Structure formats: C-alpha cells, structure tokens
Structure 1
Amino acid sequence: MTKIESKRGIFALMVAHCAGMVDLVALPVWVGTLIAHYHFDPQQAGGLATLFLIGAAGASIFFAPRFNRIHVKFAAIFGFGLAGLAFIISGMNTSFPILAGLHFAGGIAAGTALSVTHGTMGHAVNPHRIFGIAGLAIGIFGVLFLGGTPGLIEKFGGSTMFFILAGVMLAATLACLLFFPKPTRTVDFDNYENIKNLPPLGRPVWFCMVGVALLAMTQAMTLSFYERIGLERGFTRDMVTMALVIYGIVTIFPAPLAALLQNRVSVTAIIAFGPIFQAIFSLLTTHTHNYMVFALAGPFMAFTILFVHTFAFGLLARLDPTGRAVAGTPAMLMVGAAIAPFISGTLVKFISFEAIGYACCVAVAAQVYLFSQTRKAVLSGTALPKSVIKDEPVPFA
C-alpha cells in the first residue's frame, strides 16, 4: 500500500481533505444558492447546511475513537462514494424534507471518510507538515470552486451546485481507491484489548478540541452568510463573486506558511491568541458598507482559521500519538460549524447581520480561554503524553 509521504499518498490525502472539508469553501455559495434558487428563508437554508455538518460531526464522533479498529481505506472509499450519491440525488429534488434527509445522510458519509483521512494524517512522520500541504490544496481548490461555481449556477440553475459537489466527492472516491496510504508510523499494541483499553484523552487535549470546534463555529457563522451580506450591502453580483475569488486566493497561503513556521514560532501562542483576529474580521465583515473592507475581512477570517488550525492539528497529534484526537478533527470542526449556519440564520431572521459579529466575539472569548488552558498545561509539562508510537519521540516546539 502507498506510504503517506509518497507523492501518490499525499495526492490522495489532499483530494480527500478538499472533499471532506468542502463546507469550508462552499458554505457561502451553498447557503446563497438555497436562498436565491430554492427560495428557502435564511433559517431553512442555514438549517440544511447544518444538517450536513451535524451528520459529518456525528460520524466523526463515532469513528474517531474506533480509528485503530477499522479498515480506513474502505471507510474513505465508501464514505466519499455515498456522499457523492447523496449530492446527485439532491440535484434532482427541490423538496425541503427530501433535501434535509439527503444532507444529513451525505454528511454522515463524508464525515466518516474525512475522519479516517485525518486519522491517517496523524500517523505521518510529520503530521503538521502533511496537514499544511492539505491546507494548500484546499486553498487552490477554493480559488477554482469560488471562481467558477457561481457563474455556472447562474447559467444552469441551482441544481448545478449539488452536481459540482457530487463531482468533488466522486473524485475523492477515485483518489482513495487508487492511492489511499497506510500509516507511516506503527502503533505498538500487543492485542485488541490494548486498543480497547487505551487511556482517556487528557484535559489539555479536550480543551484544545473544544477550542477548535469554536474556531470552526466562528468561521462558519460569518462565512455561511458572507455572500448574502455582500448583496444586502448593495454590492453587485460580480463584486461579491470577486470577493469570493479573493477569499479563495487568500486560503492558499495560511497552511503552507504555518508549515514553514512550524519550528520558528510558539505553537501554543499561535493557538491561544490567533483567534482574536477572528473577532476583528467578523465585526468588520458584518458591519462594513465599504467594499474593500468587506472583500478583505472575509478572506482574512479564512486565513485565521486555516493558520491557527494547522498548529492545533500538529499539537493534538503530539498530545495524543494514538491518532484518536486528530481522527476527531471532523467532529471538532463540524460540531462547531454544524450549528453555525442555523444560529446565523436565526440571528439574521430575527435581528440583523450585525448580530453575527457580536455572537462571534463571545465565541472567540471562549476560544482564548480554552486554548490558554492547553497552553498552560503544555508549558508546565503536564500535557506531555507517554508515546505509544514505536521509537517515536513526542516533541514540542
């Protein structure tokens, strides 16, 4: 089987990461299309996206603790394949109840595949670097998706979005079928009982995991209505599309930059203080009527989550060398992101777009506290685990 660090292994993980994390790129187009072409109100449109993310989060919560007991390649292939099928059927329907069921089922399938993808990344020689490369891939994918999809939807109709998403999932299915890698590092367990009786994750790990969930929630609360905010502010469709293209371009840089800075900056300082920029950029996005501020604030929110999360991923891979914590990455990201579109839709429906910015500030305050607790434990040495990886030290920057 292909090794993680080989070109084919990295390619498969990059494609799988892009497909599983498609919501990070597609949410503004996704929710905007459901409102403009399917004529759902903001709460309904946000609710459909939420159902997909809840399904993904639930699958990850179920499979992450079982990562060492399942055939990860088969899980990736069938997960992405079933998600692609769910999106194809979604493109053929306009009924809200049917779309709701398909979104939930598609989320379960995609979340299963993404969970084993991230768990496999966690068993690389350098998980931080592999996740950084995957972040670069989703940045390039974001430019292509956000640059091309809105025009295709305008030309061919709202169902086009679902068929494009299906194509992304099926591409990941093929990549995983051909090249999905095996873990580079071997987990040293004597028997099944050792796997079943792994020690529970420590409090510093849980603080970091919940912090990542809130990081994703803050991002998704603003991003899911980014397109609608721009149109409501009086910007033209072409101006909003250009802002989305800028968004995609900006997402190319944070993950590789984080990979380059891995041993040059304090990991714990990045995760503890980086989220503050989310609050700043969310307030700018939801309150400004200036196009340049709007076109830059949204993309730099994406920069923040991708940069901070790359460091958080690498840290979690070292705090828990078994891979369970990083296998739960989809759960962390999507539990937070899952409730975000519905919350934002409700805030918009009953209050205003500005309310999203204030809610994000509250979420950021909680993030800073949680990540600071992990930082304190790491700096004091109490978070250091006993490595269960053969001949593998557990370094901390």
Structure 2
Amino acid sequence: MIITYYWPPAGGSGVQRWMYFSKYLSQFNFQPIILSVNPSYASYSSIDKILENEASNIESYKTFSLEPLKFYSLFKSNRIIPQSVIPKKTLFDNFLAFIRLNFFIPDARIGWNPFALKKALKIIRDQKIKYIITTGPPHSTHLIGLKVKNITEVKWLADFRDPWQEIFYLKNFFRFNYIKKLDLRLEKKVLSSANAIITTVGEKYHNILKNKILVNQNFFSIYNGYDKKEFDKVKSTRPDYFNIVFTGVLSENNNYEIFLKAIKTLDPIKNNLNIKFNLAGNVEKDIIDSFSNFVKTKSAGYLSHNEAISLMKSSHLLVNFNYHGTNKPDMISGKLIEYLATGSPIINISHTNSESESLISLSEDSVTASQHDLDKIVSYISKRYINWFKGEFKEKIPNNIDEYSRLNLTKRLASILREI
C-alpha cells in the first residue's frame, strides 16, 4: 500500500513519481493499492486531469482531511496554494508562515493523518497488506507510516522526495527552538523505525541522514525518471525561432538571477536576436516581467504532463534553476531526467560538484554553471544560438537514458522491497 497525500487529479513531479511507480509495479509482481486524500478536502496547487485518467485503473482509497492551508487561499487574491515555497513577500505572508511553521508540526497537512491512519489499518487488515510505502513531502505522511509500523507487522519503506529538516526555505523563517527539536525528533523516529529509506538524491544526503540516528539503516536512491512510452508519443516539433524553455516551479528561492543577467547582457530584443523564452508551471509574475524586458517571454502557466513534454521537446535550449542553499544536501529537479530525454542541450544553474551536475554530464552538449559564472553562461547561450542559426542544431539523446526510464526505476524499487 502506498500512502501519498499527492495523487491525481493533483499535478506535479511528486504525483508523477508514485503514479508511474504504481503503473509499473504489477510487472514485478507487486499489486499497488493507493491511500490518499479526497481531492474535495485536499490543498493542491495544481490539477492534471490527464494524469487522473492514467491512474484510473489503480486501486485507490480516499479519505477526509482537515486542511488549514485551505484557509490560506481565502486570504490571498490569486487563491493559489503555495508549492515548494513558503511566501514571505508581505507582512501577512510572514505572519501566515510563522503560524504554519510553529503550530503545525511537521507541516500544515497533518490534519489528514488521523483519517488516513484509520483507513490504512482497515485496508491492511482486510487485504493482508505486507508492505507500506509513505512518501513526503508532506513529511507528516511518514508519521502515518510510523504509527502503522508500531501497530502492525508490515514492512515500511519511507520515501524522502525532498529533505525534511534541511529543506531550503526553513532557513528563511523564525521557528521556536523547541519546535525545531520536536521536528527533528519526529524525523529521527521515522529514520530509525522504517525498514528502509529511499531518496531522490544519493550519498551526500544519505550521510547527513545517517549521522542523525544511532541504528543501522538501509538507504537507497531512486531518481525521478521519464516515461519512455509517454515521450515516444510526443513528436519533437521545434519552432523557427531559438526556443529557450523552462518548466516547473520558479520563485525567488531559485538561483535564476545570473541567467537573467546573461539574458540582459545578450539583450535579444535590442539586438534583434530571434530568441524566445517559454516557461510553464508555477512561475512568479515578477520573474516573468523581469525577463520580458530583454527577451520575448511567454508563460503558459500550469500544463498537463503531456503538454509539458511537448513544450520540452520543442526546445533548442532547456534551463534548470536549482534552489538557493541546496548544496547541503543536493536537490535534483523532478524534471531533470525528462530534460535529458528530450535530447536538447541543457544549462543547469547550480553549485559545482552537485549531483545535478553529474547527471547533466550525461548530455555532451549540456553544461552546469554557478550563480557567479556570468561569462560562462553568456558564452554558452551565444554558442547554442549560433549553432542553431547556422542550421546545425541536432537532438542528442544520451545513450544510457533508458537506465532512468520509469520502468527500470520501478524494477529497482521492486528489488528494494524484496530486500527489506
């Protein structure tokens, strides 16, 4: 049984990760059952109806939830639930962040836990479940697994899609010391009690987690991959202009500023360069406006996963912005493998010696640059533009990309389940 707060019709990479695992697990003799929140009571930042259709054949159960984040949208004009960020633009934003981080531990979606726990125990009893998987964020989901583990004899795998204590935005807000200690104690209990931990990054983060606990624990990494079947359905149709593409979440927490400086230096509008910057996802309007001063810019907002794949495959250059303050530990964008699978060059704005840099090296025409590498970024964009202008652009898909297909990553997941 997979216990996940995010499930279709919710959209985003966290949903895709477990939707695709569930889709392929049956090929490895595991029959997944999903326990999630009823969408009517959930706090989702985006909806993807196409993913909902893909998940329709997977057995799932939905429960009630008490959602304080629902009230957030009542106070905000755009009514959007925050995703991967905690806003702090106004005094009111800071007040809401203070309440969220000091009164809802470990997160504001903990109101789902009592209802999910009751349902989980019933499903385990009725269907004789042998394994449970919890995935976070929200990391409060792992506390459901902790209680189930204490009550039953199931094997428990905890999936950390993003860090818990080390998540970048916690550094920017005040939290009472006793709240920090309580949150850390909860994380340690999860790390010590699960039969195994999986993450989306590798050794550097694993060492951080190992140093928190006294028991020996099994740590594994499984990246967010790409679905070969879905990619093969979408043709690569590139426009007659040099198309720079970004998909995902883009906010003040991302290190986009150096890329903006590079675009300002090149100034495609002033210099009549045939360049457009197309963005999709949860992108802050101020950032869109900043780029619009120097390059023709369009933001499509949230797209379905298939539409996002189509946009990525229309690119001549893809750009990935890491988050500020994620060198300890690394964080890898959920879309990075999908970027690689398009065959387009990628510029990865990240610190050096990062795990994302190692992944980017699979693509011979791609590069990683730090937030201080202005000349390198300007030179790289110019090189890719000239290459396209001369008609020399070629799609180059890494030879070993199949290693990161959803099917092969699910095979690894099945192997881990058997191992524990």
TM-score (norm 1): 0.28
More helix by share: 1
Structure having greater relative contact order (Cα 8 Å, sep ≥ 6): 1
> Whose strand proportion is higher, 1 or 2?
2
Q: Whose radius of gyration is greater, 1 or 2? A: 2
Question: What is the TM-score of this pair, normalised by structure 2?
Answer: 0.27
